[in-house]
A and B are shown apart, each in its own frame.
Chain A
Amino acid sequence: MSEPREHGATAASSLSTSSPSTPGTPAPAGPARAGARGAMGESLLEVRGLQKHFPLTQGIVFKRTIGHVRAVDGVDLTLRRGETVGLVGESGCGKSTVSKLIVALERPTAGSILYKGKDVARMGGRALKAYRREVQIIFQDPYASLNPRMTVGDIVAEGWAVHDDVAPRKGRLKRTQELLDRVGLNPDYVNRYPHQFSGGQRQRIGIARALALQPEVIVCDEPVSALDVSVQAQVVNLLEDLQDEFGLSYLFIAHDLSVVRHISDRVAVMYLGSIVEEGTDEQVYASPSHPYTQALLSSVPLHEPHLRGQKDRILLQGDVPSPADPPSGCRFRTRCWKAQDVCAQEAPALVDRGQGHPSACHFAEARMVVPVDVE
């Protein structure tokens, strides 16, 4: 059960009132979080058969292509209005590439991304400009993604130069400071430069920059990994408030499975370029049915001293295969303790195999790996 939450008082009053062009339809002002209830709006973003293959080259001057890194290899995802979809998985499995494809920073090798029913690849001038404002990204790397020569204030306000209808010229400094305050940074810091901030502080600058454009969708690529747990809780609460207030949708990528569970309505688990299991947070966490999901959940370190060593960790054998040369059939088979001959021959489709949610395993079977409601 989600608790009733105060509206208005904790929500971004500055974000809601100072602009005449509040994006999207505001979420109904119900007492509980719409997202957590599962009553989601229409589908906003639809990703179908998405692929991204990077050429592998050899030679310094005359580059020869000797193969391809299949970073993303057939991903389907749906994001509805007001919903949070969590995306978790092995490092290097293609999560950031999916993010960059969604915000049109990379071009897909194959597949399509539909936003409000329109194919992003076919969008021209105006539609693309609107898309670039409405769909924002918070980057994984808070060090590389901020221009070292710009002040924090300029970084946050940068998008307004292109999308100048979002914030009236006059009140921009004040808005910038309000945004800094919202993400837990001291508003007095507007004139500082990125190198004067710690890793976690920089991550919050990136969050403020994304919020500045009043987006409808935010692709959050590890937005809280660099933060201490208290600031993390502040940012998560902030994201939830903004969602309640404006019906924002999030694709939320993180390695911290507890945070993902907390914030997500649905969770997708990725391995080597494709999604292997998908369901509500309850389905995926309480009855994971793909062996990789089980291994992942079993490795979550618990912070309670009395639970140390209580969980049976499933140790994965072998190495992560290279995405340049993925195994035939099921991509997880080289490390799977349940693999049979069929696994090498047939790639398992991502379908419901009697678990109530889809799993890409020929022998899907629910297994509880996380202790439930331990106290």
Chain B
Amino acid sequence: MTNLDLTKPTAELAAQGTPLLEVDDLRVEFRTRSGVVKAVNGVSYSLGAGETLAILGESGSGKSVSAQAIMGILETPPAVISGGGIWFQGRNVLEMSAEDQRRIRGPGISMIFQDALSSLNPVYSVGFQIGEMFRAHRGMSRKAARAKAVELMDRVRIPAAARRVDDYPHQFSGGMRQRVMIAMAIALDPRILIADEPTTALDVTVQAQVMDLLKDLQQETGMGLILITHDLGVVNEVADDVAVMYAGEIVERGTVDDVFSRPSHPYTDGLMSSVPQVEAKGGRLRPIVGQPPNLADIPSGCPFHPRCSHRRLGAEAAPGRECSTDVPPLRLVVPGREAACHYSEEVLGVRAP
């Protein structure tokens, strides 16, 4: 018995109060010869129909790995989902049969991968690979699938689509391959689209077109969008909410307006100060000091403490809030804002409760 509800309109589900996706305390580790790499350490969020959640964060902080876990495409081993749950339309994906998981992939949850080149098969033409989606899931004929492929390539603005449909991946530029990936990901009108750095390889005019395209799709179909990106500008222009990750955890969460205007976690604050401006050349950039943590050996207490300018150690610290020993939980700081920092109120410049 399957009960995947891939036909039920998303609006109906929303009315029932079932979020499209719920991730609860997700944990992923890699067991390697040189130790256990804790890539995702208790990530939780939910996504409703038509919503856009941006995930921002340190490079290497577990954004792609958590997305792969949701898609059910983690290679296990070496990866192990060591805790938590992933609910798609109210059903735990981790407890589904492999068959059901496969049925969700594509029309249920779909993903634009970060590595556009290696995700495309070099020996098949791009048109064939896009068409494959329609043959496999919709049983279309080769000819019909090819026509659909051209249509999708047009939709993601690949010039001369009809002529380039039979070209191979290496004949496309980085940005163009990214658009091919986007075409494949949206082919089956997914309920949830996880876009992992969808526009990093694109120039800003095409980037704007692609983001518009994703927004249109969202409006038409009520698709939920998880946008993983390093581009604060893109987040600012498209997302409603943002979650910031560091060392496999969400360290801050809130609306884009709030988080970007007044960060309440020192890591987010550091990110904001690192951005160069297009309006002026500016002086030397100001990155966060120190190196990102080794996930096989995450610092005790607050994982950010070795690099934090707000940290309080030893006798300076308030009881139970020593930064190198006490782990700061993700907690409500002000209405609508959560942060995993003992001293968020100070960072925000508001009085502690």
With an 8 A cutoff between CB atoms, is B271 at the interface? yes
Tell me the nearest residue of chain A to B167, going by C-beta: A56
Instruction: Given A92-B176, A184-B292, A262-B276, verify A143-B203 contact (CB < 8 Å).
Output: no
Contacts of A320 in B (CB 8 A): 157, 159, 206
Contacts of A200 in B (CB 8 A): 59-60, 230
Contacts of B37 in A (CB 8 A): 196
With an 8 A cutoff between CB atoms, is A5 at the interface? yes
* Contact among A144, A201, A305, A319 for B157, CB-based, below 8 A: A319
Q: Are B173 and A305 in contact (CB under 8 A)?
A: no
Contacts of B175 in A (CB 8 A): 91-92
Tell me the nearest residue of chain B to A144, going by C-beta: B117
Is chain A's binding surface mostly helix, strand, loop or mixed? Answer: loop
Q: Smallest distance from the beta carbon of A56 to chain B beta carbons, Å?
A: 8
Q: Are B118 and A144 in contact (CB under 8 A)?
A: yes
Contacts of A300 in B (CB 8 A): 204, 233, 278
* Contact among A96, A141, A295, A322 for B160, CB-based, below 8 A: A322
* Contact among A230, A258, A299 for B288, CB-based, below 8 A: A230
With an 8 A cutoff between CB atoms, is A129 at the interface? no
Stretch at the interface among B20-28, B86-94, B256-264: B256-264
How far apart sit A188 and B275, CA to CA, in the bound complex (Å)? 29
Q: Smallest distance from the beta carbon of B216 to chain A beta carbons, Å?
A: 14
Contact with A along B259-284 (1 / 0, CB 8 A): 01100000000110011111111111
Instruction: Given A196-B32, A305-B236, verify A3-B291 contact (CB < 8 Å).
Output: no
Q: Are A227 and B59 in contact (CB under 8 A)?
A: yes
Q: Smallest distance from the beta carbon of A229 to chain B beta carbons, Å?
A: 4
Contacts of B195 in A (CB 8 A): none
Q: Are B287 and A91 in contact (CB under 8 A)?
A: no
Please report which residues of chain A, range 292-306, place their CB below 8 angstroms from some CB of chain B when the two chains form the complex: 295-297, 299-306
Tell me the nearest residue of chain A to B245, going by C-beta: A228
* Contact among B59, B237, B284, B286 for A198, CB-based, below 8 A: B59
How far apart sit A142 and B284, CA to CA, in the bound complex (Å)? 26
Q: Are A237 and B204 in contact (CB under 8 A)?
A: no
How far apart sit A344 and B91, CA to CA, in the bound complex (Å)? 59
Q: Are B283 and A3 in contact (CB under 8 A)?
A: yes
Contact with B along A223-238 (1 / 0, CB 8 A): 0011111111110110
Total A-B contacts with CB atoms under 8 angstroms apart: 208
Contacts of A236 in B (CB 8 A): 276, 285
How far apart sit A197 and B175, CA to CA, in the bound complex (Å)? 22
With an 8 A cutoff between CB atoms, is A255 at the interface? yes
Contact with A along B148-179 (1 / 0, CB 8 A): 00000000010110011010000111111010
Tell me the nearest residue of chain B to A36, going by C-beta: B281
Q: Smallest distance from the beta carbon of A44 to chain B beta carbons, Å?
A: 23
Q: Are B34 and A199 in contact (CB under 8 A)?
A: no
Please report which residues of chain A, range 221-277, place their CB below 8 angstroms from some CB of chain B when the two chains form the complex: 222, 225-234, 236-237, 240, 255-259, 261-262
Q: Are A373 and B287 in contact (CB under 8 A)?
A: no
With an 8 A cutoff between CB atoms, is B202 at the interface? yes
Q: Are B59 and A303 in contact (CB under 8 A)?
A: no
* Contact among A229, A304, A322 for B271, CB-based, below 8 A: A229
With an 8 A cutoff between CB atoms, is A282 at the interface? yes
Q: Are B270 and A141 in contact (CB under 8 A)?
A: no
Q: Smallest distance from the beta carbon of B268 to chain A beta carbons, Å?
A: 10
Q: Are A319 and B202 in contact (CB under 8 A)?
A: no
Q: Are A143 and B118 in contact (CB under 8 A)?
A: yes
Instruction: Given A259-B276, A373-B279, verify A91-B176 contact (CB < 8 Å).
Output: yes
Contacts of B117 in A (CB 8 A): 141, 143-144
Q: Are A184 and B274 in contact (CB under 8 A)?
A: no
* Contact among A222, A228, A233 for B58, CB-based, below 8 A: A228
With an 8 A cutoff between CB atoms, is A281 at the interface? yes
With an 8 A cutoff between CB atoms, is B205 at the interface? yes
Instruction: Given A92-B173, A296-B203, A299-B208, verify A143-B159 contact (CB < 8 Å).
Output: no
Q: Are A199 and B64 in contact (CB under 8 A)?
A: yes
Contacts of A89 in B (CB 8 A): 203
Contacts of B234 in A (CB 8 A): 301
With an 8 A cutoff between CB atoms, is B201 at the interface? yes
* Other 9 A-B pairs with CB < 8 A, given A186-B292, A237-B287: A36-B281, A89-B203, A141-B115, A199-B114, A230-B271, A231-B59, A259-B276, A301-B234, A320-B157
Supply 17 A–B pairs (Cβ within 8 Å), ascending by A.
Answer: A58-B166, A141-B117, A144-B115, A186-B292, A199-B197, A226-B59, A234-B287, A240-B284, A255-B200, A258-B276, A258-B277, A296-B203, A303-B233, A304-B260, A305-B256, A316-B205, A373-B280
* A residues apposed to B, CB below 8 Å: 1-3, 5, 36, 54, 58, 69, 88-93, 96, 140-141, 143-144, 181, 184-186, 188-189, 191-192, 196-201, 222, 225-234, 236-237, 240, 255-259, 261-262, 281-282, 285, 295-297, 299-306, 308, 313, 316, 319-322, 324-325, 370-374
